[in-house]
Amino acid sequence: DDEDNNLHLSTTEALTLKVDSVNPAMNIQKIYLDAYQQETNSSGDPVYPQVNTEITEAINQGVLMMVYTGHGGAEQLAFESVMTAADLGNLDNEFHYPVILNASGEVNRYDDPAVFSLGAQMLFADNKGFAGVLSPSRVGYALANFNFSKKAIGLLVANDNKRMGDILREVKSASGEISTVKKFTYFGDPSMKPAFPHNFVETETINGVQAELFADTLNPGEEIVITGNITDENGNIMTGFSGQL
């Protein structure tokens, strides 16, 4: 974002606030290119290898969805080569595929037979990649992409059991920017729903003290013991669960 007057930083922060307001239980991890060391590849172009490493590790560990704001195209996200085909090859996330929302350029370009777009590669990667890819198929404007994405992210994280196709329909129906609506396409099964977990972790004790009574300070590097249960949506303990929280 160093050449766009913090435009994409500002929109990302606004999307974060939207997620917090709709679903405060969501754990958010933010990766900003400018927070990492910029390097130069063999062609003389700027790159952020640590950014790709962070994204790959996060997806491999398991995320519900990924949201990208910034420049993007049919071959990569950002001029600095974020999430290229080579990076997709480094993914190891079979059995936990996220959904990705790209507020960027023509990531989902689907009507050029000479181009196997990044969005399509994200979807069709063997035993890895993404369950759904919501992105523009043409170059657009940052503000219009942000307005669309803000509506989309609000529905995506609401956890109200809606199908991806219905989410896309509602977002497009609520948007007055027709040119932007036409550009956004969804690669994936529209009948699928975001895979929100249905059970909860309930903390009982921290260092032997009831969680609601614990008032001590936890220090960096300190070893602590937390006990608890796994409960269902109604607060009932899942007796069949055995293991570590």
One digit per residue, pLDDT tens: the chain, 245 residues? Answer: 556 677 888 899 999 999 999 999 899 999 999 999 999 998 899 999 999 999 999 999 999 999 999 988 999 998 899 999 999 999 999 999 999 999 998 999 999 999 999 999 999 999 999 999 999 999 888 888 889 999 999 999 998 889 999 999 999 998 877 888 889 999 999 999 998 888 888 899 999 999 999 988 888 999 999 999 889 888 899 888 777 65
Contacts of 115 (CB under 8 A, 6+ apart): 74, 109
Q: Which domains does the chain have, with CATH numbers?
A: 7-188 (3.40.50.1460), 198-245 (no CATH)
Backbone angles phi, psi at 188, to 5 degrees: 145, 180
pLDDT for 2 = 57
Q: How far apart are CA 129 and CA 204, in angstroms?
A: 36
pLDDT for 232 = 87
Order of strands across the sheet that contains 132-136: 65-69, 99-103, 132-136, 184-188
Given a contact cutoff of 8 angstroms between Cβ atoms, the answer to whether 23 and 158 are in contact is yes
Cross-strand bridge partners of residue 229: 202
Could you tell me the pTM of the whole model? 0.83
Report CA-CA distances (Å) from 234 to 126, 200, 212: 37, 10, 20
pLDDT for 245 = 54
pLDDT for 1 = 55
